[in-house]
Every structure is written in C-alpha cells, then in structure tokens.
Amino acid sequence: MKLDPYINVDPGTMSPFQHGEVYVTEDGAETDLDLGHYERFVRTRMHQVNNITTGRIYANVIAKERRGDYLGGTVQVIPHITDEIKEAVKRCAEGFDVAMIEIGGTVGDIEAMPFLESIRQLGHEYGSQALFMHLTLIPFIKAANETKTKPTQHSVKELRSIGIQPDILLCRCENEISEEERAKIALFTNVPTKAVISALDARQGIYEIPMLLHEQGLDDILVEKLGLECGPANLDDWREVVDRMENTRHEVTVAMVGKYVNHADAYKSLTEALHHGGLRHRIKVNIKAVDSEDIEANGLGELEGVDAILVPGGFGERGFEGKVATIRHARENNIPYLGICYGMQAAVVEFARHVCGLDKAHTTEIDKDTPDPVIGLITEWLDRSGKVETRDEESDLGGTMRLGGQRCRLSPDSLVRKLYGEDVITERHRHRFEFNNHYRDVLRQNGMALSGMSMDETLVEIVELPGHPWFIGCQFHPEFTSSPRDGHPLFTGFIEAALAHQQGEVPAGVAAL
C-alpha cells in the first residue's frame, strides 16, 4: 500500500512532468506509479484501496462531518484524520498475511506528519506484529572520497522524536557501507548492526535488487521479526531474469515518440515493458526517446536507423502532428509499429488522411469542427446524425475516462490473436476518446483491420494493417500488465519484430499467419 502526502485526491490530473506516470489498476483506480512496481515484483494485483492520498483522506473525513457522523464534535487531525488513515490501512490489509505500507515523501515533511502519527499508533496496537523499516540516504562526497552517515542519524532522530523506532534501516548509497560505518550507524540509531542494510545502486537495474537484499539477509530479518513460518527463499526466477538481461545475444533500438520523453518516470511501465519484451530471446532493447514536437520542427531525421517505432499514450494537441508524421513513416517504410491509446488514435487519423483520402480527418479532442471526426467522444457519434450534442464530459477531468480492466474479443485470423493465443483478453484502459464507429467501413475497405472489439461489439479496441510486417494500435495500455518474469504478448512480439526487421526477415508472428 502506498500512502501519498499530497492533497490531490489521486494522481489522475497531475502532469507527468511533475509526478511521472499515472498507473491504472484492474479496478480502474488512477494511482501512484509505485503500484506498478509492486505488481511487477510481487505478482499480485493492486486496487483502489492500495493507494491513499491526503486529499482522499480529508475528503472522506469532511464528507462524514457534513453527514453529521461525528455527532457535532470538533473534527481534528488527531484522532479523526489519523483514524481515517488507520482504517484505510486495515481495509487494505484485510485477508492478507503481510501488508507492506509505504509512506511517500521525507521524514520531517509537514504534510506527512498525520501518516507518521497513524503508523506510530498502529505500531503500538499491533506490537510485535508490526515492523518499521526506514529508507535513508548515505551520500558519498566524491571530492573528499568520503561517505557521510550524519543525514541518516538525523533522519532516525526525527523519527524517534515522534515515537517511531526503526527496526531496519535501508541505506541508499553509491558504494558499499563498510563494517565500521554500519557499526557507527547502528550505535547512533539504536538499530542492530545486521539490520543496517546497504541499498546499493543495482548494476543491472532494479530486478537485481531481490538478490542484493537477500545476500544481506533482509528477508531472514523480516521473517524472524514478524514471527512467520517460511521455507527457504527461492529466487531462481529473478536470477533467470537478471541472467537474460546481462547475457544478451541481440540488440535492437526502438524509437519511443511522445511528448513527455524528458521525464524518466513519465512512461515508466512502458519502458519496463519494452525491456521485458526482449527477455525471451535475450534481446537488449535500447530506447531512443524522441520528442514529437522535434519531429514537427526538424523532420524525421531522428528516426533514421531505428528497428521499430512506438507512440505511447498522451493527451492534447501539443506534438500530435509529429506523431502522425512518425506513424506515416513507419507505415510507408514497413517499420514495426506499436501505437498505444493516443498512439492508436493517431494511427487511425494518419490512415484516414493518407490512405482513405479524408484529408481533414482528426480527433475532436483537438479539432472540434473537423468534417471527419474519426476519433471522438462516444456522445458525439452515438447520435447518428453526427451532430455534437454535448461536451459535458470535458467539464471534470478527474472522473470522465474509461478506466480499468475491460474484456476484448480478438478476430480469429488476426496478428493479435496469434500473439495472445486467446480469443478474449482483459486489458486496462485510460482514455476519453474512442474510434468513431461511423468510419468502420471506410477504413476496412481501405485495408485497416479492426482486430479487437469490446465484448458487445460497440467499441474498437485494436487495429492492424495486414499488409504491413507488424503494425498494431491498441486503445488500452498493455504496459500495465507486463512483468519481468511473465512478459507480455504484445511487447514480446513487438521486440521480436524489431529484430526481424533489423535482420531483413519476416516477424515470426506474421510468418505463422
């Protein structure tokens, strides 16, 4: 569970430049990107209850006060806010053996204080069943060749001043902490020396971390302190993942053309999913981030020599025409293409303009007056006259999207059916605008396959170009269900198509059709 101190009710309306990716759970919650890490590592499914913000807590308490639930009492941070936080934690933990509760921010942040007070109370209530693990920074001063333990000492002092004594310290550091430094930290923080754990920067990426922590006995300390009955740790899966990442046989370059490429966390699940896609055949995936606005300003030069192209999700007008130009380049030059959400919608716009002859085709998200709204709000095209009746959906950006896991039926002879190996799939959505059903026939007649449909056949979920080596656009976000140990059919197929393109071969999935 992630407790976030910011006052937004959820991250859904926050800019990716500020907050990074908005992760979507199976039940449609827009949450902190850390929940994506939880799912990728633990093979469990997150839900709305797994992410709570200050905004949501205060909204719940204020709603109760307005209803009179507090019987006229004065509503205060303690006990009302802290009780609401504790109840949220208990609801999330119900039915599980172990609950890991992470508090975002930094010890000493004023907005985090109610959360820290809440877990202090929970620690008192649960006694030996509760354990406090504190992540601290051990900076290395390169000019002096010196490691500084003082920030950790002060951070723990701050925690202890509000009644929380850490049981374990995870010390983020560039270099291994010496035994002398561990003993010093233990002495000043009242933590056993063996429980001062080095959280080193992983050489091969974050999937090496389970082994690094296991080597220092962190799992054994946790099992012992919580009184759990567990067999020996089995990290074979993780060793296999790291081995496949370290010992690659091939290398491909994928251009990711988007509008948030300058923020490393904006497409976090997507970049991870691309790397997962190469693991089956030990393919190293180099991701070349390309700003779609640069395409508009400077042309397609940055796409030269890439083995595949991906256009991710997004919102708004900025950089859209750069995405359309990118997709046309991929289509006309037989470069493997994967379009996700906005990347699928842009592919439909591009195809309508340059293949179907609908020169002014557009999405009504950008051009409300386009004569050919191939992408639009459902309310715009359910009225068969094509007349736009309402735009009320745009009034509240926080609650108007199609969100969460939804089922999709795949066409029997399609590439996606071959990749998934199933007739019906479930994937997660996060978008407002849809493929306009009035344009199904004209796009089909010109060669675009509508290879994935909602179960009631009312919504187009996946498009393909059968005459292209590998061209798929999907309305959903497959990156949210990709993991290093299990991969994802679309990303595995996409990366293997990139390798086939590099080697001048037909992608395996296409050859099998």
CATH code at position 413:
3.40.50.880
- Residues 108 and 102: their CA atoms lie apart, in Å, by 16
Number of domains present in the structure of the chain: 2
Give the tokens for residue 168: 């374990």
Residues 26, 57, single domain; the answer is yes
Residue 198: exposed, middle, or buried by beta-carbon count in 10 A (0-12, 13-18, 19+)?
buried
| pLDDT greater than 70 at residue 377 | yes
| pLDDT greater than 70 at residue 353 | yes
Looking at residue 265, its pLDDT comes to 83
Mean pLDDT score of the chain, rounded to an integer? 91
- Residues 312 and 300: their CA atoms lie apart, in Å, by 17
The pLDDT-based confidence of 12 (bands split at 50, 70, 90) is: confident
Average pLDDT, stretch 317-322? Answer: 93
Average pLDDT, stretch 5-25? Answer: 84
Q: What is the pLDDT of residues 462-512, one digit of tens each?
A: 999 999 999 999 999 999 999 999 999 999 999 999 999 999 887 766 655
Looking at residue 68, its pLDDT comes to 94
| pLDDT greater than 90 at residue 384 | no
| Domain assignment present for 156 | yes
Neighbour tally for 248: CB within 10 Å: 14
The count of C-alpha atoms lying within 13 angstroms of the C-alpha of 258, restricted to the half-sphere facing its C-beta, is: 30
Domain that holds residue 198: 2-239
Give the tokens for residue 42: 């633990």
Average pLDDT, stretch 323-334? Answer: 97
Looking at residue 470, its pLDDT comes to 98
| pLDDT greater than 80 at residue 268 | yes
| Domain assignment present for 432 | yes
Residues 260, 231, single domain; the answer is no
- Whether the link from the prior residue into 79 is cis, omega within 30° of 0, is yes
| Domain assignment present for 8 | yes
Residues 227, 319, single domain; the answer is no
Q: State the helix-helix crossing angle for 179-189 and 150-161, rounded to 10 degrees.
A: 20
Residues 199, 268, single domain; the answer is no
- Residues 70 and 210: their CA atoms lie apart, in Å, by 45
Residue pair 115/4 in contact by the 8 Å Cβ criterion: no
Residues 335, 309, single domain; the answer is yes
Q: State the helix-helix crossing angle for 54-67 and 82-93, rounded to 10 degrees.
A: 110
Residue 147's contacts (CB-CB under 8 Å, 6 or more residues apart) are 138, 139, 140, 141, 173, 175, 177, 178, 181
Give the tokens for residue 418: 């071959």
**What pTM value is reported for the model?**
0.91
Would you mind telling me the total number of residues written for the chain in this entry? 513
Computed on alpha carbons and rounded to an integer, the radius of gyration of the chain in Å comes to 25
Q: DSSP character for 377?
A: -
Nearest-5° angle of CA 211, CA 269, CA 214?
10
Residue 282's contacts (CB-CB under 8 Å, 6 or more residues apart) are 244, 247, 248, 249, 250
The pLDDT-based confidence of 85 (bands split at 50, 70, 90) is: very high
Average pLDDT, stretch 354-380? Answer: 94
Q: What is the pLDDT of residues 222-247, one digit of tens each?
A: 999 999 999 999 999 999 999 999 99
| pLDDT greater than 80 at residue 60 | yes
Last residue of a domain, one of 186, 216, 239: 239
Q: Looking at per-residue confidence, does 389 or 251 come out higher?
A: 251
Q: What is the pLDDT of residues 416-437, one digit of tens each?
A: 999 999 999 999 999 999 999 9
- Residues 10 and 54: their CA atoms lie apart, in Å, by 9
Residues 269, 199, single domain; the answer is no
Helices assigned H by DSSP within 137-208: 150-161, 179-189
Average pLDDT, stretch 287-311? Answer: 95
| pLDDT greater than 60 at residue 387 | no
Looking at residue 393, its pLDDT comes to 37
Which residues lie across from 147 on neighbouring strands? 140
Last residue of a domain, one of 217, 239, 261: 239
| pLDDT greater than 60 at residue 147 | yes
- For residues 279-300, one letter each, b for 16 or more C-beta atoms within 10 angstroms of the residue's C-beta and e for the rest, the string is beeebbbebbbbbbbebbeeeb
Amino acid at 172: R
Q: What is the pLDDT of residues 436-457, one digit of tens each?
A: 999 999 999 999 999 999 999 9
Residues 256, 145, single domain; the answer is no
Maximum average pLDDT range among 10-19, 203-212, 471-480: 471-480
Looking at residue 401, its pLDDT comes to 79
Q: How far is CA 232 from CA 214, 223, 236, 507, in A?
A: 11, 11, 12, 42
Last residue of a domain, one of 207, 239, 271: 239
| pLDDT greater than 80 at residue 25 | yes
| pLDDT greater than 80 at residue 319 | yes
- Residues 420 and 426: their CA atoms lie apart, in Å, by 11
| pLDDT greater than 90 at residue 382 | no
| Domain assignment present for 453 | yes
| Share of residues in the chain with pLDDT > 90 (%) | 81
- Residues 19 and 49: their CA atoms lie apart, in Å, by 20
Which amino acids are annotated catalytic? 341, 477, 479
| pLDDT greater than 50 at residue 389 | no
The pLDDT-based confidence of 17 (bands split at 50, 70, 90) is: low
- Residues 481 and 474: their CA atoms lie apart, in Å, by 14
Looking at residue 261, its pLDDT comes to 75
| Domain assignment present for 281 | yes
The pLDDT-based confidence of 113 (bands split at 50, 70, 90) is: very high
Residues 471, 503, single domain; the answer is yes
Chain centroid offset of residue 328 CA: 27
Q: What is the pLDDT of residues 157-186, one digit of tens each?
A: 999 999 999 999 999 998 888 999 999 999
Residues 140, 38, single domain; the answer is yes
- Residues 317 and 392: their CA atoms lie apart, in Å, by 20
| Domain assignment present for 397 | no
Q: DSSP character for 481?
A: G
The pLDDT-based confidence of 14 (bands split at 50, 70, 90) is: confident
- Residues 3 and 349: their CA atoms lie apart, in Å, by 40
| pLDDT greater than 60 at residue 267 | yes
- Residues 84 and 52: their CA atoms lie apart, in Å, by 10
| pLDDT greater than 70 at residue 392 | no
